[in-house]
Structures are given as structure tokens and as C-alpha cells.
Amino acid sequence: MPKNLHAEIIADIAAPLNAWLAERTLPDLPAPVALGPPTREGAGDLALPCHPYARLLRLSPQAIATSLAEVALAHPLVSSVEAVQGFLNLRFDWGAIATRAVPWALTDDAALGRSDLWVGRKILVEYCSPNTNKPLHLGHARNMILGATIAALFRAMGADVRRINLINDRGVHICKSMLAYQRWGEGVDPVAIGRKSDHFVGDLYVRFEKAFQAEYAENAPGEDKDVYFNERSELGRATRDLLQAWERGDALVHALWSRLNGWCELGFDATFARLGIGFEQVDRESKTYLLGKDLIAEGLERGVFERDPTGAITFDLERIGLVGKKAVLRSDGTSVYTTQDLGTAVKRLDEHAFDRMVYVVGNEQDHHFHVLFGILRHLRPELVNRLYHLSYGMVELPDGKMKSREGKVVDADQLMDELHEIAFAAAQARNLPGPEVDAAAPLDEAELHRRAEAIAIGGLKFFLLKFGPATTFVFDKERSISIEGESGAYCQYAYARAGSILRKLGTAADFDAPEYDRLTTAQEQDLLSAILLFPGCIIVAATEDKPNILTKAVFDVARAFAAFFNHPDCRVLGAPPGLRRARADLVRAARRVLCAGMELCGMTPIEEM
């Protein structure tokens, strides 16, 4: 069973403190003492506020802290204590801590962030959900990377996780691309012209929008565009005719639909593969859009819904603290998005008996999920507290928001290409003869490209993850793959540098008896601390659905390792034998944790930069 050593150390130190308090307050001792980080920088490694015990003991907090200091100082893992203003501050005996921590970090999977806390839990994570009328862009990339990392965190906790992609492959927006192909596509196959197939379909969508804008400017300037599209536009009428023909099952229309959707999904698959994104289940709206009708009919009979004067079936939003009514079926009996989502949620519960379902969707859909979950609470009470919307902010460009229909997006494929080119140029520069490169054996171009790709994709993922999900931010291409600062490349470099140290060391330290109790420099303490804290960060990241806590934990290990290997007092090569082995093992431990953390982020560790 994985063992969270940091939690165990705290429990060990807390045990005699609890015993001392319990002897004097029986049976009124509140919750066990909560040792945590000091509130004052430089005050030590752990602290305990003694104020909660003052009333029970009829002593001042300072008197309690002074008495507990004597108890704590007797613990073998504590080197010094102080009682200040009612706080008990403790400092670890880092030699004793290292003796336990390094072997643990080298062997225990808990050091990698793995635990069995959620064993037996079934969790579904839905993310990506692209439309088959355009390629994936930077916003999709954030969605996918968030979803994939959340799923990885849940798996690290021991949960049974199923990743789901719901592809939006029907509707008016799809028919716009279809109509554009009919009118201007000239029967072209994207392969024949060397165009990535989802980009080809996206070009058609933009072509339609330009044609509509021209028609609108000529015929209805100043009129509401949606009203014009739905009531007077020739392009709008033709698009609706295509949708109606699709819903009737028209063979020719379905053939065109299948052709364009096939192209788009083929392109998606290539992007997924490059980003390392996968799914255990792929649903399509064309198969799910009719789900929910029977559920609504049942709810109408039970009084969950009501029929309004137009014949539409609605839900009274006042029942969930909102204003107005939400239509769940139109007056003509056709579905809305909520209809489908209601049916899909219930179907997935029936199929998978999940404990939790996480929808990774941008914050523009906050209201939709508030309504969806509220209705489901009345339709299926067993779903209460099982559904969660992981709402996230938008990724913006330096000049504002992205707009797909205008072609103003950061295309995911193009972005990855640009990041790769920047990383490749940097790798070429580092490959020039010099102190770090063997002039007789420069890296070949294929290897440089492999490393550049790992840096580019890793940098993209780390940058998109390091902001809290709720944060809206501007994407900075150069910063995302910078080797300096809080970046993926910085972490990859630390991992590679650890490997370089161990290669130079070779087998020199293998037969030395490690003297872990000599790992007491400030840099070694900071690195041990970052390693010990890593598992707890993974638990918090998974529990709070915040992958940014994961990236911060990985960066903290990388930064502490950089301070360690750059400090002259922490050299591995040339250190006395027992200390050399201890430091070599500390390097191995840091490298192991860095590798695990980067893999949770979906990054590829690099042996050499």
C-alpha cells in the first residue's frame, strides 16, 4: 500500500503532543492537533497554534506552547523547538528525515503521487466535445489538456476512470460547411490538395460565413443577424433545408454529411495523437440528440415539467432558485440541447453506475449546467452530488477573444508547429560544439526534432495547466517553452540535468554505504521537503479539481533540484563516499518524482536537452 511519508511523519510527531493534551483534558480534547506550515517565514518546518486549548487547560496559549515544546523536543525527528506568542514552532532533524525520506522516494509509489484513497470509485470525465465543422483550436487544447490531466489525477488516486468525448456532429453549424462544399467545394478531396482534412472542412465553414456576411451587408444592414438568417436569408433557408433533409434521412445528404464528418474526425485523430489525448468512449450527438424525450414525458406525468400555451414543455426555474422557465422540448416536439444532456446523463448512469461525472466545459456554459443539474435533481434524485461542471476561463489572444466563424483563432496544429520550430531552433543552437556538446558526435536532425516536439508539447501543456481552471489568461507563445521560469521546459531541463549527473557518476557510488543523515544543507532540506510534499499536492489537486496545484508541485521539485545542483556545497562528484552515495540517491529520488509529475501532466521527460 502506498505510504504518504510526510503525513506519517507529522502523525508521528503529533502523537506525543496529543497524548500530553489528552492526559490533561480528558475527555474534552477537541480534534487531534493539526501541525501545519508556520505562518511566519523562517519559523521552522511545522507549527501548532495552542490557543484552542487555553480554555480547557485554564492556561495561557504561551504556557501550553512552552510545555509542549519539551514534549516535542524529545522526538527523534525534531531538532529544535520554540514557543512564541502561543505558537509551538518545530524544526525537523533533517538528517533523520532524510534517512527515512530518500529510500521511500526511491521505492514507494506514494512518492509518485499514487494512492488508494479512491479505489472502488467510478468516475466519468467528459472533455473535448468538438464540432465537426472546424479544426481544433487553442481553446480546445486547454479543454483537452485539463480533462486529460484531471483524469490522470483521479487515476493516481486509485479511481476507475472513463474518459469520454461527445462529438457535436449534427446541427445547423455542420450544415453550413456542407452547403459551402456543395456550392464552392468543386468535389475536391483534401488529400488531393495536401490539406489536413479538418482544416479543409473548417475552410468551408469560414467560406460560408464570408458569403453570409456579404449577403447580409447587401440585403439587411442593421437588421438582427439571427432574425435575418432564420427568416429572410437565402443561405439560411438553404442551410435549414439541408438540416431538415438530414433529419428525414435523405440518402444523398447523409452521404455528404458522412463524408465531411469523416474528414473532420480524421483530422481530429491526428491532433489527438500529437497531443497524447485519448478516450475510452466516443459518443456522437447524431446518436444522442433524441435521448431525453422519454425522460421528459415521464417527468411531465410526475409534474416535474409543465406544458405552456404554445405546446412547449418547460421547467420552472424558480424551483432551483432562478427566474423564468426553461423549454426542454419545443412546441413542435423537437429537442433542445438540454433534452439531449438530460438523456445522456441518465443513460450513462444506467450504463456505468458512476460515482461522479465531470463535465469539462468553459465558463460560458455555467448557466446551462446549473439548469441541467437542477432539473436532474428533480428527475433522478440519485444523481445529486454526482455531477460536477469543471468550469474554466477562456484563453485569449494578445488582441482579444478568438472567433471561429471569422477564422480568428489560434489553430492547435499551427500552434504546435510554431512551438516546435522555436524549440528546434533552440535545440540546434545548443547542439553547436561547446562545453555541453561532443564536437565529434553532434545530434542528428531527427533526434533534435524529437526533443523539440517533446519541449513544444510539454511547454504547451504546462502553460495551459499552470493557471487555475477559473482563470482567463492570455497565451504567451515564447513563455510557454522558455527554459527559464515556471515552465515545462524548466522541469524537463531539471530532469535531464539529474540524468547527466548520474551518467557522469556512473557506478562510482554504487558500492558506497549511503550516509543520508549528512543531507543537511539548506538546499538538500528544500529538495527533500519538495519531494515529501509532492504526494499531498496530488491529493489536493485531485480533490479540488485543480491541475495547477500539480504543475506547481512539479515546478517546486525542479526549482529545489536546480538550487541543489547549482550550489557548490552540494556537489555529488567529488563528495566523500558515503555522502556521494546519499546525494546520488537524492538525485535519483528527485528525478523519479519529476518524471512522475511530468507524466501526470501528459509531458514527455527528456534524457538530454
Cβ(521)–Cβ(575) below 8 Å: no
3-state SS, one letter per residue, for 529-550: HHHHHHHHHHHHHHHCCCHHHH
Q: List, run by run, the mean pLDDT of 10-residue segments along the chain (609 residues).
A: 90 95 78 86 91 92 96 97 95 97 97 97 97 95 98 98 96 96 95 96 95 94 91 95 94 97 97 97 93 93 94 96 94 88 96 98 96 97 97 82 56 95 89 49 85 97 97 92 94 96 86 93 97 98 98 98 96 93 97 98 93
Q: Residue 357: beta bridge partners?
A: 124, 387
Residue 67: helix, strand or coil by DSSP? helix
Of 542, 129, 154, the C-alpha closest to 359 is: 129
Output the pLDDT for position 609: 77
Output the pLDDT for position 405: 47
Residue 492 included in any domain:
yes
**First-residue to last-residue Cα distance in the chain:** 35
Amino acid at 310: T
- Same domain for 496 and 586: yes
- Identify the domain boundary among 34, 65, 92: 92
Q: Residue 67: beta bridge partners?
A: none
- Same domain for 429 and 570: yes
Output the pLDDT for position 33: 87
Output the pLDDT for position 334: 81
Q: What confidence tens digit (pLDDT) does each residue in 506-540 have?
A: 887 777 899 999 999 999 999 999 999 999 999 99
Phi, psi of 295 (to 5 degrees): -60, -40
- Same domain for 570 and 422: yes
Residue 552 included in any domain:
yes
For residue 491, give every residue at least 6 positions away whose Cβ sits within 8 Å of its Cβ, in sequence order, or none.
Answer: 458, 462, 554, 555, 558, 594, 597, 598, 603
| Consecutive H or E run containing 179 | helix 172-184
Q: CA 598, 282, 418 angle in degrees (round to 5)?
A: 45
- Same domain for 553 and 424: yes
Residue reference for cell 439531449: 340
Q: Residue 397: beta bridge partners?
A: 400
Q: In what order do the strands lie in the sheet with 356-362?
A: 281-284, 160-167, 122-126, 356-362, 387-392
Structural domain that includes position 526: 412-600
What is the per-residue burial (b if ≥16 Cβ within 10 Å, else e) of 255-282? ebbeebbebbbebbeebbebbebebeee
Residue 326 included in any domain:
no
Joined grid coordinates for residue 145: 489538456
Residue 313 included in any domain:
no
Amino acid at 76: P
Of 422, 6, 17, 358, the C-alpha closest to 154 is: 358
Residue 557 included in any domain:
yes
Output the pLDDT for position 40: 82
Residue reference for cell 491532433: 271
d(C-alpha 118, C-alpha 51), whole Å: 35
Give one DSSP letter per residue of 287-298, joined into a string. HHTTTTHHHHHH
- Same domain for 433 and 570: yes
- Same domain for 573 and 469: yes
Cβ(335)–Cβ(290) below 8 Å: yes
Output the pLDDT for position 42: 81
Joined grid coordinates for residue 218: 447587401
- Identify the domain boundary among 227, 260, 277: 277
Phi, psi of 79 (to 5 degrees): -100, -35
Which CATH number is 46's domain given? 3.30.1360.70
- Same domain for 488 and 580: yes
d(C-alpha 250, C-alpha 239), whole Å: 14
Asked if residue 433 has a cis previous peptide bond (ω within 30° of 0), the answer is no
Residue 290 included in any domain:
no
Q: In what order do the strands lie in the sheet with 46-49?
A: 46-49, 87-92, 78-84
d(C-alpha 578, C-alpha 582), whole Å: 6
d(C-alpha 104, C-alpha 194), whole Å: 53
- Identify the domain boundary among 35, 66, 92: 92
Output the pLDDT for position 570: 96
Residue 269 included in any domain:
yes
Are β-strands 313-316 and 325-329 bridged in parallel, bridged antiparallel, or unpaired? antiparallel
Output the pLDDT for position 16: 96
496: left (phi over 0), alpha (psi -120 to 50) or beta: alpha
Which CATH number is 500's domain given? 1.10.730.10
Give one DSSP letter per residue of 200-242, joined into a string. HHHHHHHHHHHHHHHHHHHH-TTS-HHHHHHHT-HHHHHHHHH
Domain count of the fold of the chain: 3
- Same domain for 88 and 175: no
Output the pLDDT for position 439: 44
Residue 390 included in any domain:
no
Of 320, 332, 250, the C-alpha closest to 293 is: 332
Output the pLDDT for position 181: 97
Output the pLDDT for position 397: 75
For residue 144, give every residue at least 6 positions away whose Cβ sits within 8 Å of its Cβ, in sequence order, or none.
Answer: 127, 128, 136, 272, 275, 277
Of 57, 99, 105, 102, the C-alpha closest to 77 is: 99
- Same domain for 214 and 74: no
